[in-house]
Each structure stands twice: as structure tokens, then as C-alpha cells.
């Protein structure tokens, strides 16, 4: 899309507030929860998503995803729940792809029945399987690509076309890719959601979420969100704007490191398989090349059966075991013990999540040091 500015220019500048009084280099922070009426129409209030810093950051978010407008929420889950509920009422049905972020699965399976909302999980993330679940009362299709932890891709253009043919709203959780690597609105998806806690924040110190779409759809979500209350505090909005300035260069460094590490791990005898969309061996590498600009900083890999993955993790010195992801620091975890620990062993087996599968969130450290850390840890098992 040539009419958009480059990613680093958007990250650094779009939406910034001018400091007219002192000519400071960064956006001033307005913490007011009360504003004197000047124009009667505008009632500024943080929960209405219209304070100066919220509006400024929403402009940057919209530009990052090639949308018209955006909302900034207090968490990724607040963004997801508000976006979903704005389009659903009792008696409606939603089609979800199979592999979803755990919190989203919990929202659907634990809460939807209280509101009389029906749902189906497709048997996998193919367009055909999603189509098979569409009913006469289906209103919405919800996908996530790449998915956690096996980095499976969903064909965004295919899903957007399917949704249009059936008059459904299409939504994607684009957290794993980040707007640097993937812009779903360009492929016809209606609504993009991010946990800004991840690549947008990038330093493991901000919890936030965002929804980006057309003006019409954002107005609709804002209407519900005012009633539910889930905005991010202006101070954290301001911090998130700062974090986003370096998102382009951070994520590109993570893409670069992840590609090198995926290639290194693929060549190691003790590694059974590597799941990374940037590898030619990835079953959807062609789709990845079509819909992604970079292949991301997330990957997973399975160790040979005889190696105890927990013991392997303990040998790592630089790469830290941690639940979260997408920070500038490299982290690793065992999905079978954490994100997918509540599933039965049979269910995990079915999803292809073996006990010695590791999910790796690649940081921006020097590639030589990351490779050295993995090498020395693998060396203990040779």
C-alpha cells in the first residue's frame, strides 16, 4: 500500500501531540479526568476514549494497521472482549479457529453461555474448516495468525472473502505478527486486535490492548466500551506511545534473529522439529510469503524425545524461562506446563503439543550470544 508512510516514520511521528507552549520534543501528557466545556459537543473523559493522549495514540495505531480509527484498552483481553461483544447478542453464533490464545478460549468457553451466545471451534485453521462451521445465525469469524505455539497460519484473504460472502464480520488477533510484519486490513479483514502488552510495548512493562478498524466499526465498539469501562490510563497511553517509537527497529531485529536461530536449531541433531514461518520447510511458507512482510520473532521447537525439556531450560543462561513474550529479552517456556497445561495429555497430543516442545520468544540480543547459549545448553545432552 504505497499511500502509507513507512513503518518507522509512523512509529516515530504519527499522531504525536505538539507542545505549543514549551516546544518539547515529545507529546505532552494530559492526565485530566475533567475538562472545561469549550465546544459543547465534546465531553472529554478517559472512559469515553477521547482524552488528548488517547486520541493521539489511536491515530498512530490506525496508521500502523492501515485503518481509519482505533481504541486503546487496558489489556489485550479488554480489547478482545469489547470487540467481540460489540457485534454479538443472545442467539448469535461465532466461528473461531482451532488454536487460540488461552485467555480468549477461556472468555468464550466460560462466559459466552451466560449471554446466550453460541460458538463453534473449527477443526483447524483452514478456510474450508471455518466455512464448515457457519450456521444461519453466525455473525462473526475470529482468527489468529500465526497461532500459539505451533505457528500455524490462517489464510487472511480467504477468510475475508468467506466472511463477505456470508455477510459476517471478520476479526483477527494480530498480536504474534505485530503491525510491522502483517497488516490484515489490507487483505480485507474487518477488525484487527493486538495485545499491546507484547510487541507494541516491547519491554515487558506495559499491559494494554488495541482495536483498529473503519470509523463505523470503531464507533460501534466505542459505544459498548464506554458502558463496560476498559480504557488505558493516560499515563500508560503516553508510555505506550514512547515504546511504539522503536517498534519497527525492534521487531525487524527480532525477525532477523529468529530466522537465524530457526536455521541454527534446524541443523542441530538434538532438535526434532522447528516451527517457524520463515523456514522453507514450514508447511505454509508460501502463504507466509504472501501475507507477511517479515516472519516474526516467535517460534517453537521440539527436542528429541530422550531429552528432558525442563532440564534443558535450566541449562540456558541468557535465555530466560518466562510466561510472557515479545519483549526485547529472549524468553522460553514449555507450553505443556504453562499455556496448555490445563488441557488433558490426549488433547495436547491431538493439538500436536508434545511435552518437550519449547516456545521461544526471540529478543534483540546479539545473535552470536543467543546461538552460543543454545549451543552450550544442547552440549550438556550430547
Minimum separation from the CB atom of position 103 to ligand PLP (A): 5
Q: Reduced to 3 DSSP states, what percent helix, strand and coil does the chain have, rounded to the nearest 5?
A: 40, 15, 45
**In terms of C-beta density within 10 A (0-12 exposed, 13-18 middle, 19 or more buried), how is residue 366 classed?**
exposed
Task: Give the Cα separation of 311 and 301 in Å (integer).
Answer: 15
Neighbouring C-beta atoms of residue 222, cutoff 10 Å: 18
We find the least distance from the C-beta atom of residue 105 to ligand PLP, in angstroms, to be 10
Q: How far is the CB of 27 from ligand PLP (least distance, A)?
A: 23
209 lies in the site for ligand PLP, by CB under 6 A: yes
Give the CB-nearest residue to ligand PLP: 76
Cβ-based nearer residue to ligand PLP, 197 or 257: 197
DSSP 231: B
**Residue 176 or residue 312: which is nearer to ligand PLP going by CB?**
176
Binder among 97, 195, 291, 331 for ligand PLP (CB under 6 A): 195
Label the pairing between strands 209-213 and 138-144: unpaired
Give yes or no for residue 77 binding ligand PLP (CB under 6 A): yes
Closest to 97 in 3D by CA, of 54, 156, 144: 144
C-alpha distance across the termini of the chain, in Å: 49
Catalytic status, residue 380: no
DSSP 381: T
Does 322 bind ligand PLP (CB under 6 A)? Our answer is no
Which of 65, 173, 190, 241 is close enough to bind ligand PLP by CB under 6 A? 173
The residue (of 17 and 361) whose beta carbon lies closer to ligand PLP is 361
CA distance 164 to 311: 49
Q: Is the CB of 134 or the CB of 247 nearer to ligand PLP?
A: 247
| Dihedrals phi, psi of 237, to nearest 5 degrees | -60, -45
In the bound state with ligand PLP, the residue whose beta carbon lies nearer, of 8 and 338, is: 338
Cα distances (angstroms) measured from residue 181 to each of 79, 202, 241, 254, 346: 20, 15, 19, 11, 34
Per the annotation, the verdict on 47 as an active-site residue is: yes
- Annotated catalytic residue 355: no
Our finding on whether 206 is near ligand PLP (CB under 6 A) is: no
Catalytic residue among 44, 69, 92, 101: 101
Q: Which of 69, 92, 98, 173 is catalytic?
A: 173
44, 139, 152, 198: which is the annotated catalytic residue?
Answer: 198
d(CA 121, CA 111): 15
Q: For residues 132 and 204, what is the distance between their CA atoms, to the nearest angstrom?
A: 39
Q: Is 216 a catalytic residue?
A: no
Number of helices (H) and strands (E), helices first, in the chain? 14, 12
d(CA 273, CA 265): 8
Question: Closest distance between ligand PLP and the C-beta of residue 170, in Å?
Answer: 17
Q: Nearest approach, Cβ of 41 to ligand PLP (angstroms)?
A: 33
* Per CB under 6 A, 142 contacts ligand PLP: no
Smallest separation (angstroms) from ligand PLP to the CB of 156: 15
Q: Are 302 and 358 in contact (CB under 8 A)?
A: yes
Residue choice 103, 188, 321, 352 for contact with ligand PLP (CB under 6 A): 103
Q: How far apart are CA 20 and CA 275, in angstroms?
A: 50
The minimum distance between CB 256 and ligand PLP, in angstroms, equals 21
Looking at the annotation, which residues are catalytic? Answer: 47, 101, 173, 198
Give contact residues for ligand PLP (rule: CB under 6 A).
75-77, 101, 103, 148, 173, 175-176, 195, 197-198, 207, 209
Amino acid at each position: 500500500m504505497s499511500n502509507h508512510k513507512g513503518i518507522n516514520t509512523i512509529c516515530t511521528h504519527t499522531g504525536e501531540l505538539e507542545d505549543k507552549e514549551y516546544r518539547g520534543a515529545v507529546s505532552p501528557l494530559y492526565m485530566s479526568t475533567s475538562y472545561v466545556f469549550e465546544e459543547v459537543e465534546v465531553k472529554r473523559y478517559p472512559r469515553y476514549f477521547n482524552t488528548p493522549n488517547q486520541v493521539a495514540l489511536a491515530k498512530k495505531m490506525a496508521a500502523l494497521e492501515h485503518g481509519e480509527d482505533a481504541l486503546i484498552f487496558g489489556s489485550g483481553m479488554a480489547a478482545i472482549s469489547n470487540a467481540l461483544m460489540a457485534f454479538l447478542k443472545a442467539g448469535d453464533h461465532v466461528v473461531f479457529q482451532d488454536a487460540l490464545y488461552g485467555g480468549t478460549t477461556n472468555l468464550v468457553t466460560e462466559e459466552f453461555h451466560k449471554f446466550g451466545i453460541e460458538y463453534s471451534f473449527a477443526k483447524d485453521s483452514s478456510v474450508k474448516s471455518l466455512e464448515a462451521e457457519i450456521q444461519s445465525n453466525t455473525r462473526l469469524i475470529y482468527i489468529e495468525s500465526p497461532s500459539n505455539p505451533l505457528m500455524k497460519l490462517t489464510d487472511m484473504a480467504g477468510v475475508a472473502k468467506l466472511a463477505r460472502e456470508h455477510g459476517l464480520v471478520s476479526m483477527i488477533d494480530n498480536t504474534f505478527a505485530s503491525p510491522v510484519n502483517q497488516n490484515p486490513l489490507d487483505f480485507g479483514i474487518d477488525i484487527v486486535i493486538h495485545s499491546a502488552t507484547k510487541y507494541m510495548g516491547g519491554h515487558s512493562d506495559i499491559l494494554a490492548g488495541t482495536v483498529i478498524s473503519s470509523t463505523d466499526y470503531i464507533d460501534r465498539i466505542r459505544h459498548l466500551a464506554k458502558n463496560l469501562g476498559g480504557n488505558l490510563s493516560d499515563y500508560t497511553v503516553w508510555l505506550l506511545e514512547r515504546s511504539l517509537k522503536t517498534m519497527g527497529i525492534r521487531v525487524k531485529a527480532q525477525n532477523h534473529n529468529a530466522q537465524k536461530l530457526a536455521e541454527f536449531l534446524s541443523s542441530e541433531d538434538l532438535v526434532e522439529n522447528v516451527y517457524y514461518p520463515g523456514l522453507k520447510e514450514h508447511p505454509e511458507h508460501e502463504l507466509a510469503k504472501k501475507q507477511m512482510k517479515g516472519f516474526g520473532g516467535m517460534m517453537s521447537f521440539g527436542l528429541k524425545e530422550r531429552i528432558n525439556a525442563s532440564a534443558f531450560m535450566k541449562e540456558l543462561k541468557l535465555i530466560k524461562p518466562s510466561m510472557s513474550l515479545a519483549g526485547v529479552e529472549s524468553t522460553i517456556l514449555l507450553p505443556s506446563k504453562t499455556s496448555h497445561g490445563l488441557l488433558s495429555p490426549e488433547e495436547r497430543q491431538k493439538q500436536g503439543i508434545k511435552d518437550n516442545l519449547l516456545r521461544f520468544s526471540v529478543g534483540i540480543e546479539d545473535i552470536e550470544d543467543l546461538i552460543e547459549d543454545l549451543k552450550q545448553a544442547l552440549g550438556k545432552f550430547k
